Structure 1
Amino acid sequence: MTIRQPTHTPYDGSSKLFTIGLKPLEIERWIEVDEFLLPHLAEKQRLYADIPEKVFVEEADTRDAQSEVLALLSPHLIAKHPRTHFGAGSDVEVIGLASATDRLPPALREAPLARASLLVQEDLILMRRDERGWRLAAGSLCFPSSWSLQEKFGKPLQEIHAPVPGFGPGTRPAELINRMFDGLQGQAVERFNWSIQAGDALYHPLSNIQRIDRATNRPTRFADGDINAHAFMRVERQTLRKLPVSSDILFTIRIHLDPLKVLDAHPDRATLAASFVEQLLALDQQQLDYKGLTADRDRLVAFLNGIAGSA
């Protein structure tokens, strides 16, 4: 049986944790579509039906900017992904599914960003500039990586990033991110983030601080099962693109989930595992706690060293 290899491997050292790491992105590669398109969209539809208030927010005056997002996405999907999307203009749909509007709860059918979100696997976040900096003005976040859309709604970047070690208000990285947002023009950029989680849940809203092992008072995720069976690599591919009319910024987040054990079959498994170990060992205590790896790092390192040693 052929084992699916990870699409992205930022843990190879190309995208170090707790760095900004923005790189230019060719527009042709803006949106990613793979064999998980339909199940991912089905999960989004389920979340919209069950907990719409937790996965979609909008300020009242963002509908025009939301329409811009849909107007940018539609021709891109038709041109670059004709095997999965069809239509004309802003009327684009996914082959084999009912229209995005019909798959939304009635209260969200007039929100263009919600409709756009059911065309792609990416989550879509709209950032808007005010005197405080760039704030989260609207968003569809069905696949959060340890954060709450409701909690971050309306907040500027420096407050959104406050829990991230070294990225809170007043830090140099926080100032740099705001400057990068200010300087973004017609080009698109991308960056990667990654973590390790227990299980393959796409909807992953609890912060690592909320997942505390009462016995050790440290975040842990693998106490109830072995790493080989339960550890998944969660890779976030993030893109930024300024909207031409509103000058708002569209922030996309695409989640890739792969079992950690797939590295054992990777042709470059020794290099990947060794780099993975190097980055895990480089994290300080605050970073380990934030990532929820304090109680599990040594077990992960041993597992990865076993992969490297078997090459």
Structure 2
Amino acid sequence: MKHTPYDGSHPLFRIGLAPLDLAQWLEVDDQLDAYLDEKARLRERYPGKVFAAESDTQPAQVEVLSLLLDHLSEHHRDTHIISDNEVRAGTHTVFLLEDEPPLQTASKLVQEDLVLMRKGDVGWRLAAASLCFPSSWSLMEKFGKVIADVHAPVPGFAAGTRNAMLIERIFDQLVVEQPVRRMNWSVYSDDELFHDDRTAEHLKKRDFDAGIFLRTEYQTLRKLPQSGDILFTTRIDVDPFEALGNHPERDRICQGFITSLEQLDAAQLAYKGLTESRDRLIGEIRLLAGETSAVL
């Protein structure tokens, strides 16, 4: 398990930014081929759902691709072989084509989703994205919207809230020299990477009878030096709940996990799809930790 933000270190519904060491910007692991395979499958099956871009974002997309190539060349030479016309990413060969949106080409190289935010007269908006692994939100519904409207369903983050104003200020003040990172997490009843519907059954009926999966999001924000746009990246990891039982810090993580769940209010529980199942989930965590007081 790479990240365990549900241990209390990254409370939900808080912004929680930290400085990003650019050496840790992109995460590459032994699942690279599996993620790239899934992205290819999703592009073929849902071409209108996983990519969108405003026409004038082409230069910024080129900038993103260039930054990714530089980073992969410096930090991930063991998994990425880069030449003038193509990149070998794992077992995948990605051609650097001129007739394909550069952001989509960039997405074929990494496990992360890539979202381009641009400042306009009414605030920062979602101007382009390659989004194959959304966590219960739809790119088509959010494309072109300002960030407060993107976050409108999130408790405490709608337009006019303190959080919405703070995020706008953070975006305005972000500098090229200091990118930032944050974590988010959810609990799902399956291990699918593609969840683009907030009304899906997995959110309405999350009884976990079919399984419990811990979904983490490693997010970064990076100001682009030429365009001034902001690149938002999200790396999704999904672990079966049972894997937590083998973690060397299992008991500490489980206690923090329980506390994090207990602190959620009604609106937050509803947003995370845990209204009916929080107590069940807490009981499962206690059982995993070997507590004799576990209640299912």
Whether these two folds match at TM > 0.5 is yes
Structure 1 position 309, deviation (Å): 2.7
Structure 1 position 92, deviation (Å): 3.3
Cα distance in 2, alignment partners of residues 23 and 118 from structure 1:
27
Deviations 1:142-200 (A, max 9, x none): 00000000000000000000000000000000000010000011211000000000111
Q: What is the one-letter code of the residue matched to 2:195? A: H
Report the equivalent of 1:299. 280
Report the equivalent of 2:28. 33
Question: Equivalent of 2:260, from 266, 276, 279?
Answer: 279
Deviations 1:242-290 (A, max 9, x none): 1111000000000010001111111111111111011101101100000
Report the equivalent of 2:180. 189
Question: Equivalent of 2:197, from 183, 194, 206?
Answer: 206
Q: What is the one-letter code of the residue matched to 1:251? A: F
Report the equivalent of 1:7. 2
Q: What is the one-letter code of the residue matched to 1:13? A: G
Cα distance in 1, alignment partners of residues 11 and 44 from structure 2:
36
CA 1:101–1:75 in 2, change beyond 3 Å: closer, same or farther? closer
Report the equivalent of 1:174. 164
CA 1:293–1:86 in 2, change beyond 3 Å: closer, same or farther? same
Report the equivalent of 1:68. 63
Structure 1 position 109, deviation (Å): 4.6
Structure 1 position 61, deviation (Å): 0.5
Equivalent residues in 2 for 1:107-126 (5 A)? 109-126=99-116
CA 1:13–1:86 in 2, change beyond 3 Å: closer, same or farther? same
Cα distance in 2, alignment partners of residues 203 and 174 from structure 1:
26
Structure 1 position 206, deviation (Å): 1.8
Secondary structure of 1:159's match? helix
Question: Is 1:45 aligned to 2:30, yes or no?
Answer: no
Report the equivalent of 1:162. 152
Report the equivalent of 2:235. 254
Question: Is 1:78 aligned to 2:68, yes or no?
Answer: no
CA RMSD, aligned part only? Answer: 1.8
Q: What is the one-letter code of the residue matched to 1:283? A: L
Q: TM-score under structure 2 normalisation?
A: 0.94
Count of residue correspondences: 291
Q: What is the one-letter code of the residue matched to 2:186? A: S
Q: What is the one-letter code of the residue matched to 1:19? A: R
Structure 1 position 205, deviation (Å): 1.2
Contact 1:21 1:191 in 2 (8 A): yes
Structure 1 position 95, deviation (Å): 3.8
Secondary structure of 1:245's match? coil
Structure 2: any 5+ residue segments left out of the alignment? none
Cα distance in 1, alignment partners of residues 85 and 5 from structure 2:
34
Contact 1:66 1:111 in 2 (8 A): yes
Structure 1 position 12, deviation (Å): 1.3
Cα distance in 2, alignment partners of residues 23 and 48 from structure 1:
32
Cα distance in 2, alignment partners of residues 185 and 89 from structure 1:
30
CA 1:235–1:100 in 2, change beyond 3 Å: closer, same or farther? farther
Structure 1 position 91, deviation (Å): 4.8
Report the equivalent of 1:221. 206
Secondary structure of 1:143's match? coil
